Structure 1
Amino acid sequence: MARPQHKTFDKQKTVAENRKARFDYYIEDTFEAGIALTGTEVKSLRFGEGSIGESYAEIKNGECWLVNSNVPEFSHGNRFNHQPKRPRKLLLHEREIDRLQGAVERKGMTLVPLSVYFNSRGRAKVELALAKGKNAADKRHTIKERDWKREQGRLLREHG
């Protein structure tokens, strides 16, 4: 029986993407979360700056926080500029936060941000994944599958 497909989110403009997350983790489920930003952070993200390569999400006191994400200071931000690596609050429903917290505590899963984007209404969103880490053997298997698919495509182009 085929796995059910995840619903896709309405991504108008992707600002930052964590491409390595799909290699390092098994993605179980994805969530769309709003992100609480200051004015200069929004302006900096609209210019396409920001990275979530080393970031993760954690739950503290019933709130979800994005930790270690980098949104560089806005060039025209003067004294009201923000701190680039401050923790940012993620906006989720209480039911979703409870579900995520239960999975993290009981199953040993991790909350990994996959991408930061602006939706069609112009709101900054984070695609958050509930993921389980891969070990070295799993990563080698992923590399082997990827190389085989590339080789298949090459063979089909040559003989097809």
Structure 2
Amino acid sequence: MGHVDDVTITHESGRRLAVVHYESRPEDIGSKAGEAFRRVAAHLARTGMPIAGPAVSLFEADEDAFSVTSGFVVESDVEPGEGVEPFRLPEVEVATTTHVGPYEELDKAYDVLGRGAAAHGRQVDDTGPMWEEYWSGPETPPAVTRTVVFRPLRPLH
């Protein structure tokens, strides 16, 4: 795991999410994201909208914290309420790779994305957000936890 060969260049179609937005220091993201996912899932259950894909967190770096958007992929715009609102991922080309292992080691996946994009003759866009899809529940052992990470690419000129 962690080879540039594992990096794919693909297109993010601008999937719809139901999300909660929050600011967080890196060390608090895990617990705040868990809370956000629970709140979004409860809101979707209440409004009768099915979850249509993985849990997702999108990160934008601020000065000393992250601006985070966490929620679930859904088929159509969610009805806002309880702090939950509709959100769309950017429609953009991305570099993506799958990380299997503890969340604490996700920085390795981001490192690989940068190198993998370069191997494809592309550059990641450091100004844009990055996002993660969580394909393992909280009960999954860290060693086999599966996270797919995405970084937008700079456009080809």
Of Structure 1 and Structure 2, which has the larger fraction of its residues in strand?
A: 2
Of Structure 1 and Structure 2, which has the larger fraction of its residues in helix?
A: 1
TM (norm. structure 2) is 0.32
Larger radius of gyration: 1
TM (norm. structure 1) is 0.32
